[in-house]
Amino acid sequence: MLIIKDLHATIDGREILKGINLTVGPGEIHAIMGPNGSGKSTLSYVLAGREGYEVTGGSVTYDGKDLLALTPEQRAAEGVFLAFQYPIEIPGVSNTTFLKYAVNAIRRHRGEQELDAMEFLKLVRGKTRALGISDDMLKRAVNVGFSGGEKKRNEVLQMAVLNPRLALLDETDSGLDIDALRIVADGVNALRSPERSMVLITHYQRLLDYIVPDHVHVLAWGRIQRSGGAELARELEAKGYAEFAERAA
């Protein structure tokens, strides 16, 4: 599904990713953990195609395609979804309009018929009901005036509607209290499927209490330092990142 080989990336000439290797199989859930400044968010942005990051070496193959050669919108249309750590507010554009544009852009890319207003509403209503999201949130401008929890639930709603095959969740747990975290995690768990791979990027182990990963990787100094199963996350929770922070000093 996703094969990252020796990926190097810089921002403003500063190298952040220094040779990432990672393979994610279909339906697998991988967690990438690491201290602040280790390159976790950079990795998610590079995979989603954000401008400003320069890939200076390595390759990323997604579903047999060169992911790095695609524009952000092409990646999304191919089934890559990034849940943002800080979802962006877009005044003047309603959530409904935003989602409808997105759904139909992706359908066009796939050569499918665009949904009309009725079909679209039916699709979205089904998802909001399943996720326990009020219709009121659809009418409001994208993320404007949303609480932290609402923003993250809105990301999960978008993921549910767009039905990606590879979901990158960047610090989805940040800024959430325990109740909000549980709601968001339930939403993500509901979307687990053998056809959907997920990469959870997180600083804390607590998210992994709710979404149990198949594989855990520790990212520090721009490289994956250790990989293991779910037990690695618990070990980090007990010991902290001190081992990785010292070498950085």
Partner 1 sequence: MPNSPSARRDGAMAAEQSGTTTMTSAIQPYLDSFHDLIPGLPGAGLGWLDRLRHDGLARFAATGFPSQRVEAWKYTSLRALERSVFAPAGHATPPAIDRLPTVAPDPRTAHRLVLVDGRFRPDLSSVPASVAGIASAGLADLLAGSPGDVPTTLAERHLGSVATLETGLTAVNTAFVSDGLVIHVAAGVAVAQPIEVVFIATGGAAASPTLHHPRLLLVAEPDSQVTLVEHHVGLGDGPYATNTVVEIVVGDRAVVNHTKIQREGQGAIHIATTAARIGSEGRYDHFGLTLGAALSRNDIVPILGAGASCRLAGAYLLRGRQHADTTTAIEHSAPRATSRQVYKGVIDDTAHGVFQGRILVRPGAQKTDAYQINRALLLSAGAEIDSKPELEIHADDVKCSHGATAGELDDDQLFYLRARGIDRDDARRLLIGAFVGEAIDEISDATVAAAVRALADAWLTTPAAGSQKGMGS
**Contact (Cβ atoms closer than 8 angstroms) between residue 154 and residue 140:** no
Residue 62 or 84: which CB sits closer to partner 1? 84
Does 76 participate in binding partner 1 (rule CB under 8 A)? Answer: yes
Does 106 participate in binding partner 1 (rule CB under 8 A)? Answer: yes
Does 230 participate in binding partner 1 (rule CB under 8 A)? Answer: no
- Figure out which of the listed residues 98, 120, 221, 241 binds partner 1, where binding follows CB under 8 A: 98
Stretch of 27-35, 54-62, 96-104, 182-190 contacting partner 1, by CB under 8 A? 96-104
Residue 192: which residues within 8 A CB-CB, separation 6 or more?
Answer: 29, 198
**Contact (Cβ atoms closer than 8 angstroms) between residue 193 and residue 27:** yes
- Figure out which of the listed residues 3, 68, 93, 123 binds partner 1, where binding follows CB under 8 A: 93
Backbone angles phi, psi at 192, to 5 degrees: -65, 135
Q: Which two tokens stand for residue 231?
A: 């037990």
Strand boundaries in 63-156, DSSP class E: 65-66, 80-83, 90-94, 141-142
Contact flags string 126-165 toward partner 1, x per CB under 8 A: --------------------------------x---x---
CA–CA distance, 2 with 222 (Å, rounded to integer) = 19
Backbone angles phi, psi at 2, to 5 degrees: -135, 125
Residue 53 or 244: which CB sits closer to partner 1? 53
Residue 78 or 173: which CB sits closer to partner 1? 78
- Residues forming beta bridges with residue 17, ordered by sequence position: 9
At its nearest, how many Å lie between partner 1 and the CB of residue 151? 12
Instruction: Classify residue 193 by its DSSP letter.
Output: B
14-24 vs 2-11, strand pairing mode: antiparallel
- Figure out which of the listed residues 5, 18, 50, 140 binds partner 1, where binding follows CB under 8 A: 50
- Figure out which of the listed residues 6, 25, 66, 101 binds partner 1, where binding follows CB under 8 A: 101
List interacting residues with partner 1 (CB under 8 A): 48-51, 71-73, 75-77, 81-82, 84, 87-88, 90-93, 97-98, 101-102, 105-106, 109, 158, 162
